[in-house]
Amino acid sequence: MLDRLRDAILNFEIEGVQKTCKDALSLGMSPVDIVTKGLGPGLAVVGERYEKREYFLSELVMAGETMKKAMEVLDPLINGIEHPSLGHVVIGTVKGDLHDIGKNIVSTLLKAAGFKVRDLGIDVPAAQFVKECQAAEKCILGMSALLSVSMPEIGNVVTELEKAGLREQTRVIIGGAAVTEEFGRQAKVDATARDAILGVEICKGWSTS
Amino acid sequence: MVPVTDLGMDPPIVEAVSGETTHGFSIEGFSAGNIDLGDICMKNVLAMARAYRKLGLDAVIVSDESIYRRGFVPRFLDENTFIDEWGRVMMTRSETKTTWWVGGTVKTSEDLENYEPPDANAPGRMEVFEAVVKEVGEDMVVAAGGHTGFSLAWRIRGGIDKYIVDVYTNPSFATKLMDKVARACLEWDKAIMDTGVEMLSLTDDYAGTDGPFFSPKLFREIEIPNLKRVVDEAKRKGLPVLKHTDGNNYPILDDMIEAGISGLHPMEPGAMDIAQVKQRYGDRIFLGGNVDCRWTLPYGSEEDVRTEVRRVIDAASPGGGHILMSSNTLHANVKPQNVLTMIQEARKYGKYPR
């Protein structure tokens, strides 16, 4: 069954994955195990192939979309269960920016890796990021910006976190086509991820450190 | 001397360098009934062309994304979001007077059946290009930015993620959409090339930082035939084609060159190496770029800009075949003073022989 779940992701079975998940549930697998031991490893293989440049954005998107389909069945079941997680992640695209493909892929990969993810969507004002980080008490904050004109908003969010006294306990990671390492240093974030796979690895590293 | 231009200049930069006023728009103006989007675009593009001339640049590139036919009144979805002539959902920001894509209108087979791209030969359609040629054509080269349709198609669809899912799960829909848009773009590019412009720049992005959006195999099926059609048409008319695409295009660069492109922009810093491309392909294509506009031009010091310009010229200019440009456009976040420094340093350092 674990192989079938993994293969559903590897073969981009966007139309069949929900049945595969239901079959796994009926065999007594827990929804958390379906994600972390079945689907998640499939996503990890896709990620490795992407990093090796054997796969491209199209394969990453298909794997992500297949995973999202699976999560439609599994999320309602997982949300009701207390389970250990790698930590809380609050993620969103900054105010003024409506692009979300990369952010959506990261969100999906983080869930599959075992994080509790609160995805705030797009055009997220600083106050909302701060409010969610406050509610999570300790979290990783992920921000995405595709447009150059949106980048100053990242610095704004970091400033608001400082004002709210949350900066110490919040690890901030940014990504998106517009951001660079130099900008990340200027904005005083903790990490700048050049792609979704690396972003997830950085978050996993923080979780275990 | 190394020639200098750029793919585009956002209104705040135009205003800062030229002192001219540019025009934004919002739903209020249209409700009042006194705005014509074609008229706004004409004024803004001419102001941009004059700014290029004031800066002493060697060419101006006018994007087909800037042009709307006279009398076009967009359908607004909210205060700042509207549907353009291509069926893209666009957002406009009054502070910067910039407009960018945020969504699409083709969601179903019925939408696709009913979809009509804008007519390249509508009366007055190309008058913006003609006006720029008339305004600055004696002082500089006038080039035009066009499309093959690749990026327009997935924008009209609502996003590349949606188009990717179509390619895998509904390939006939994906093919029909791309064909419809590509055929329209070919007509647009033909009409643009007849306005007196001297170069065509094709601006569909093919790649992200890590690589092309599609595998080379899929790219050859989806895009190469459309690229080749436009390039062949340009060759018939005697125009070179500068292919712009962000990101890491190494896996598909041979295919693009085989399709006949004349030049490549920008070899995005961090994704590609302009020196490497010069070494491998410099005898087959010219290079445009690639002064960094994600960090150096918006946030860098004067010395950062001068160092960056010298890096680019050292890498790409020896032997000729290089146009100095930014790594994308002179967008609204760029510091106007850094634009002046970039041009100044290019004129000082970019001398031949080298």
The answer to whether position A173 is within a domain reads yes
Q: What is the pLDDT of residue A102?
A: 85
The mean pLDDT of A142-165, rounded to a whole number, is: 89
Question: Residue B331 and residue B167: Cα distance in Å, rounded?
Answer: 32
Does the CB of B98 have a partner CB in chain A at under 8 Å?
yes
The answer to whether position B52 is within a domain reads no
- A78, A109, A139: which is the final residue of a domain? A78
The pTM of this model reads 0.88
Angle at B50 between CA B287 and CA B152, to 5 degrees: 55
The answer to whether position B159 is within a domain reads yes
Backbone angles phi, psi at A63, to 5 degrees: -65, -40
Same structural domain, A22 and A104: no
Question: Residue A112 and residue A203: Cα distance in Å, rounded?
Answer: 13
Angle at B223 between CA B113 and CA A57, to 5 degrees: 95
Q: Which long-range contacts (CB under 8 A, 24 or more apart) does B297-303 make?
A: B297/B326, B297/B330, B297/B334, B297/B335, B297/B338, B297/B339, B297/B342, B298/A148, B298/A151, B298/B331, B298/B333, B298/B334, B298/B335, B298/B338, B299/A182, B299/A183, B299/A186, B299/B335, B300/B335, B300/B338, B302/B337, B302/B338, B302/B341
Contact residues, B window 19-48, toward A, CB-based 8 Å cutoff? none
User: Does residue B109 contact residue B173 with C-beta atoms inside 8 Å?
Assistant: yes
How far does CA A204 lie from the centroid of its chain? 11
Q: What is the pLDDT of residue A180?
A: 86
Please list every residue in chain B whose beta carbon sits closer than 8 Å to the beta carbon of residue A152: 333
Q: Which long-range contacts (CB under 8 A, 24 or more apart) does B41-46 make?
A: B41/B66, B41/B67, B41/B68, B41/B128, B42/B70, B42/B127, B42/B128, B42/B131, B44/B11, B44/B14, B44/B97, B45/B128, B45/B131, B45/B132, B46/B131, B46/B132, B46/B135
Same structural domain, A107 and A200: yes
Does the CB of A12 have a partner CB in chain B at under 8 Å?
yes
Question: Residue A17 and residue B81: Cα distance in Å, rounded?
Answer: 36
Q: What is the pLDDT of residue A82?
A: 63
Angle at B224 between CA B223 and CA B226, to 5 degrees: 70
Question: Residue B71 and residue B36: Cα distance in Å, rounded?
Answer: 5
3-state secondary structure of B277: helix
- Measured from the Cβ of residue A93, the count of other Cβ atoms closer than 10 Å reads 28
- How large is the angle between the packed helices B274-281 and B302-316, nearest 10 degrees? 20
Question: Residue A113 and residue A103: Cα distance in Å, rounded?
Answer: 15
Same structural domain, A111 and A129: yes
The answer to whether position B96 is within a domain reads no
Q: What is the pLDDT of residue B214?
A: 97
Same structural domain, A9 and A104: no
| B27 contacts: CB under 8 Å, gap ≥ 6 | B76, B78, B79, B80, B82
Dump pLDDT digits (tens) for A22-73.
Answer: 999 999 999 888 988 899 889 889 988 988 999 999 998 999 899 989 999 9
Same structural domain, A158 and A177: yes
Does the CB of B171 have a partner CB in chain A at under 8 Å?
no
Cβ of A14 and B169 within 8 Å? Answer: yes
How far does CA B308 lie from the centroid of its chain? 22
Does the CB of A61 have a partner CB in chain B at under 8 Å?
yes
Q: What is the pLDDT of residue A81?
A: 64
- How large is the angle between the packed helices B37-54 and B127-136, nearest 10 degrees? 30
- The CATH number of the domain holding residue A17 is 1.10.1240.10
Q: What is the pLDDT of residue A168?
A: 93
Domains in chain A: how many in total? 2
The answer to whether position B77 is within a domain reads no
Dump pLDDT digits (tens) for A95-147.
Answer: 878 778 888 888 888 888 889 899 999 889 999 999 999 998 789 999 998 77
- Measured from the Cβ of residue A84, the count of other Cβ atoms closer than 10 Å reads 6
Amino acid present at B303: E
Q: What is the pLDDT of residue B267?
A: 97
Same structural domain, A32 and A104: no
The answer to whether position B25 is within a domain reads no
Q: What is the pLDDT of residue A176?
A: 87
- A78, A109, A138: which is the final residue of a domain? A78
Question: Residue A88 and residue A99: Cα distance in Å, rounded?
Answer: 23
The answer to whether position A83 is within a domain reads no
Q: Report residue A155 as tokens.
A: 């610095």
- The CATH number of the domain holding residue A190 is 3.40.50.280
- Measured from the Cβ of residue A209, the count of other Cβ atoms closer than 10 Å reads 6
- How large is the angle between the packed helices B150-157 and B160-169, nearest 10 degrees? 90
User: Does residue B53 contact residue B136 with C-beta atoms inside 8 Å?
Assistant: yes
Q: What is the pLDDT of residue A16?
A: 96
Cβ of B213 and A183 within 8 Å? Answer: no
ipTM: 0.89
Residue A160 structural domain: 88-208
Cβ of B210 and A152 within 8 Å? Answer: no
The answer to whether position A61 is within a domain reads yes
Integer angstrom CA distances of residue B40 from B82, B128, B146, B155, B222? 15, 11, 20, 23, 35
Q: Which of B168, B253, B326, B328 to mutate to test the interface with A (most CBs of A within 10 A)?
A: B168
Domains in chain B: how many in total? 1
- The CATH number of the domain holding residue B176 is 3.20.20.210
The mean predicted confidence, pLDDT, of chain A is 89
Residue B197 structural domain: 11-15+58-64+112-349
Nearest-CA distance from B45 to chain A in Å?
A: 20
Q: Can you give the pLDDT of all 354 residues of chain B as single tens digits? A: 999 999 999 999 999 999 998 887 766 666 656 667 888 889 999 999 999 999 999 999 999 886 887 778 788 888 888 899 999 999 887 777 778 888 999 999 999 999 999 999 988 889 999 999 999 999 999 999 999 999 999 999 999 999 999 999 999 999 999 999 999 999 999 999 999 999 999 999 999 888 999 999 999 999 999 999 999 999 999 999 999 999 999 999 999 999 999 999 999 998 999 999 999 999 999 999 999 998 999 999 999 999 999 999 999 999 999 999 999 999 988 999 999 999 999 999 999 988
How would you write B32-87 as a 3-class SS string? CCCCCHHHHHHHHHHHHHHHHHHCCCCEEEEEHHHCCCCCCCCEECCCCEEECCCC
Question: Residue B324 and residue B327: Cα distance in Å, rounded?
Answer: 9
Same structural domain, A72 and A171: no
Going by C-alpha positions, the residue among B54, B66, B48 that lies closest to residue B9 is B48
Integer angstrom CA distances of residue A56 from A45, A69, B55, B248, B266? 13, 20, 40, 11, 20
Residue A209 pLDDT more than 70? no
Looking up tokens 């896709």 gives A46
The answer to whether position B73 is within a domain reads no
Share of chain A above pLDDT 90, in %: 58
Same structural domain, A104 and A182: yes
Q: Which residue of A has its CA nearest to B295?
A: A183
Same structural domain, A143 and A197: yes
The answer to whether position B194 is within a domain reads yes
Same structural domain, A94 and A190: yes
Backbone angles phi, psi at B135, to 5 degrees: -70, -45
Same structural domain, A107 and A52: no
Question: Residue B299 and residue B333: Cα distance in Å, rounded?
Answer: 9
Q: Which of A17, A61, A106 to mutate to test the interface with B (most CBs of B within 10 A)?
A: A61
H helix runs in B237-324, sequence order: 250-259, 274-281, 296-299, 302-316
Same structural domain, A74 and A131: no
Q: Is residue B266 reached through a cis peptide bond, with omega within 30 degrees of 0 on the bond before it?
A: yes
User: Does residue B93 contact residue A96 with C-beta atoms inside 8 Å?
Assistant: yes
Q: What is the pLDDT of residue B32?
A: 58
